[in-house]
Amino acid sequence: MKLNSNLKVSEVAQLLNAEYIGNSDHLISGINEIHMVEVGDITFVDHSKYYNKALNSKATTIIINKKVDCPEGKALIISKDPFSDYVSLVKKFRPFESCSDLISKTAEIGKGTILQPGVFIGNNVKIGKNCIIHSNVSIYDFCEIEDNVIIHANSVIGADAFYFQRRKQGYKKFESCGRVLLKNNVEVGALCSIDKGVSGDTIIDEGTKLDNHCQIGHDTYIGKNCLIGSHAAIAGVTKIEDDVILWGRVAVDKDLVIGKGAVVLGTSGVDKNIEGGKTYFGVPAEEARKKWKELAALRQLPGILKKNKF
């Protein structure tokens, strides 16, 4: 998430009542969690296992729970609870704003777009031209939809990321400040949920079509001209390249890449990166021809055991 205007690290440290290391005029231009950071962003780290990753990331300001050497060109904010301080910044700069109207007064709706009864359009939403938004669709704040998009009834665009940190007293919510972007000619089936990015964007690229009952996790990118079958469940921070087909009830684990033109057959489970241009099947998903050979061999196992009197 980009800030409306740059802040000095000294100003942010003062907001957090925390000490800082670095130039007091060091500027912060955005807030991002570690998977999405860019130059100018502030992020956080609260476990020694991830110190190096955060300190060597593109982020130029890091909220950290230990005094360490500050990398050149960066600034550190020393915090007893970096997670909570980061969340407090999200809440300050992207607070929840209620909306009493079905269509927010700050929403921008393009020419020729049709909104069916019961549609909710949140604050600062942008919708392009010639879209059809069917009944009871909810589009959360700051989401952007380009031209010629169709969203079928009862789908939710931009719900919070399913992202929590476990504490002794229970789970603490990682507040979301990202968006969903639906590009030109996307079609979303009925009863789908597309979660916003935690701090970046969840993107469905041009020409991609989702069947009914699909779940798309936070910060996921789905490329151009993909087909996603019904009941597909795609976890967060996944990258699906162009021309991919996922048939019904495919499950995809987080942080994976599915290569261009891959086809994953129904009810499969993808637990690792897979190459493009191939067909996959099974749990875990493997090349379909190999998986079918394995299944054929398994069918012979009872006869083999009986013959050898096991």
**When comparing pLDDT for 190 and 291, which is higher?**
190
Catalytic residue among 26, 134, 152, 218: 218
Whether the upstream peptide bond of residue 284 has omega within 30° of 0, thus cis, is yes
> What's the pTM?
0.92
195 HSE (CA, 13 A, CB side): 21
pLDDT in tens, 7-43: 999 999 999 999 999 998 999 999 999 988 999 999 9
191 contacts: CB under 8 Å, gap ≥ 6: 152, 153, 154, 155, 212, 213
Strand partners for 103: 121
pLDDT digit string, tens, across residues 250-306: 999 999 999 999 999 999 999 999 999 999 999 999 999 888 888 888 888 887 777
d(CA 106, CA 93): 18
For the chain, give the percent of residues with pLDDT over 90: 90
Greater model confidence, 180 or 307:
180
**How confident is residue 176, by pLDDT bands cut at 50, 70 and 90?**
very high
Q: How far apart are CA 226 and CA 229, in angstroms?
A: 10
Mean pLDDT over 182-204 rounds to 97
Structural domains present in the chain? 2-93 (3.40.1390.10), 108-289 (2.160.10.10)
- At 300 the pLDDT is 82
- In the residue annotation, 218 being an active-site residue is answered as yes
> Where do we find the tokens 């795609």?
234
Confidence class of residue 59 from pLDDT cuts 50, 70 and 90? Answer: very high
The pLDDT assigned to 292 comes to 84
